[in-house]
Amino acid sequence: MRLYVDSTRCSGCKACLVACSLNLFQENNPKKSALVILPHFPAPGNYEVKTCTQCGDCAQVCPMEAIKVNERGAYYVDMDECNLCEACVSECPEGVMFIRSELADTAWKCDLCGDCVTVCGTGALWIAETETAVA
């Protein structure tokens, strides 16, 4: 299972970012989200959403073995074990592995909670085994 996105459906509202930060940090802080929304200008309303593919590259390079697999089969950061070495950040092919010491004392990534899917009013996000499983 993984999170899929159809960026052409994204309105740029950032509700997914808020839902994600609430799940991961219990804070309304889009800067602490595990998704990225890139606006493409000069054409407003054209957004690219970056999500974790659950490839596991981050877990393979973590020297602390702080990136584990949860009951949903998704990789997540055990925040008590992360030492902020940043090995995972450069390894992430999607650019959605985060360490921002001014915001948190740990790395973070998508844990496949699904909260972003629930709040997406345009249906741009979904969780499935394959991309073609979208309804």
- 133 secondary structure, DSSP code: G
End-to-end CA distance of the chain: 16
List b or e across 46-63, with b for residues whose CB sees 16 or more CB atoms inside 10 angstroms. ebebbbbebeebbbeebe
**Segment 3-8 mean pLDDT:** 95
- Measure the CA–CA gap between 78 and 99, rounded to whole angstroms: 13
**What are the structural domain ranges in the chain?**
2-128
Band of the pLDDT at 94, cuts 50, 70, 90? very high
CATH topology of domain 2-128: Alpha-Beta Plaits (3.30.70)
What are 61-87's pLDDT values in tens digits? 999 999 999 998 999 999 899 999 999
Q: Are 2 and 90 in contact (CB under 8 A)?
A: no
